Structure 1
Amino acid sequence: MKKEFLIFQPDMAIEEIREVANRYIESEWRSIYESMHEQLTAAFVEIEDAAYGLYLDQLIPPIFEQLEDAGFSAMENLEEDDFVIAKRLIFRNSLEKWGAEHNRSRIFWNVIHDKQGNPIGTILTEIPHSHLKFDIPSAPVIYSLRESLKERIVQEIRLIKESG
């Protein structure tokens, strides 16, 4: 993985974090997808959507690891029944309401805190995927928001998806 694309600085704004994360995803998503496609196509037959978690377990963790190395925090306290993929994407902090069965969109959110514990904003991780077969029709995308409250995050996600 090309971690040289993942250089975060402790004083970065949420928009700068988004830009760095998207450059990394753009450079890596397809090669990981292609290298795992046969394995994940077979896994999809048995575990359906959970196959996407296996893919994201390879693509996404370096982003959060590098953020944390730069002094940011992206994880919240887990609840007993939380389901987490890619080490930091919590299903209760996601929405999936858009697209046809062959090209759905799930968006996860992570509030990002600085070294002092202050929220600087939220990164949204959009995962395009199919419910019919293992397929990621386009690159995952990171969005950024200045919001850090759940209700406002959900409103902003709806605005992004329903206006775009």
Structure 2
Amino acid sequence: MNKQFPNFRQDMTIKEMGEAANRYIESEWKPLYEAMHKDLTAAFAEIEDAAYGLYLDGLMPAIFEQLESAGYSAMEKLEENDFVIAKCLIFRNSLEKWGTEDNRSRIFWNVVRDRQGNPLGTLLSEIPHSHLKFDIPSAPVVYSLSEILKDKIVQRVREIKESELKTGE
């Protein structure tokens, strides 16, 4: 399997970064899921939701590594009790409030900064998953936001999910 990598450039907007991340995820999520499914189904029986962290450890680091290679940073200073998966997804910077037990949605956020440390916007990573068995019912999705403050990011996450519920997406 030839792994594709997201292509980031120094002059990209946050929207373009999200589009590049989604192209990468679209090409890679399903083959990785199929390759890891048997092992992660067994892992889910033992460690439950932590099995999704193992999957994301295979899928998401390429996005953050390629952002870094292009001169961006998507990681913030860690606090003592932070739990991080997939290189840059910090659990305190996430919400999981939507969906049924067999199709839940957790959304992580990462504020992206340029070489000088200036915030450019935020990338949201939505991870659909089941709490009943190891299953990722649809592709993870990356959204891009202009917001950079936690309360505004949380507000936008809620707006996105409420909008989806209304339109039935």
Q: Can you give the 5+ residue segments of structure 2 that lack an aligned partner in the other structure?
A: 165-169
Residue 115 of structure 1 deviates from its aligned partner by 1.1
TM-score normalised by the chain length of structure 1: 0.98
For residue 120 of structure 1, give the secondary structure of its aligned residue in structure 2.
strand
2:106 paired residue number: 106
1:58 paired residue number: 58
For residue 134 of structure 1, give the secondary structure of its aligned residue in structure 2.
coil
Structure 1 residue runs of 4+, over 3 Å off?
none
Residues 83-162 of structure 1: matches in 2 within 5 Å?
A: 83-162=83-162
Residue 151 of structure 1 deviates from its aligned partner by 0.2
For residue 99 of structure 1, give the secondary structure of its aligned residue in structure 2.
strand
> What CA distance in whole angstroms lies between the structure 1 residues aligned with 2:162 and 2:121?
21
1:21 paired residue number: 21
Q: Can you give the 5+ residue segments of structure 1 that lack an aligned partner in the other structure?
A: none
1:81 paired residue number: 81
For residue 106 of structure 1, give the secondary structure of its aligned residue in structure 2.
strand
1:2 paired residue number: 4
TM-score normalised by the chain length of structure 2: 0.95
Aligned identity (percent) is: 73
> What CA distance in whole angstroms lies between the structure 1 residues aligned with 2:53 and 2:105?
14
> What CA distance in whole angstroms lies between the structure 2 residues aligned with 1:7 and 1:92?
28
Partner amino acid, structure 1, of 2:85: I
**How many residues are treated as equivalent by the alignment?**
162
> What CA distance in whole angstroms lies between the structure 1 residues aligned with 2:8 and 2:101?
36
> What CA distance in whole angstroms lies between the structure 2 residues aligned with 1:48 and 1:96?
16
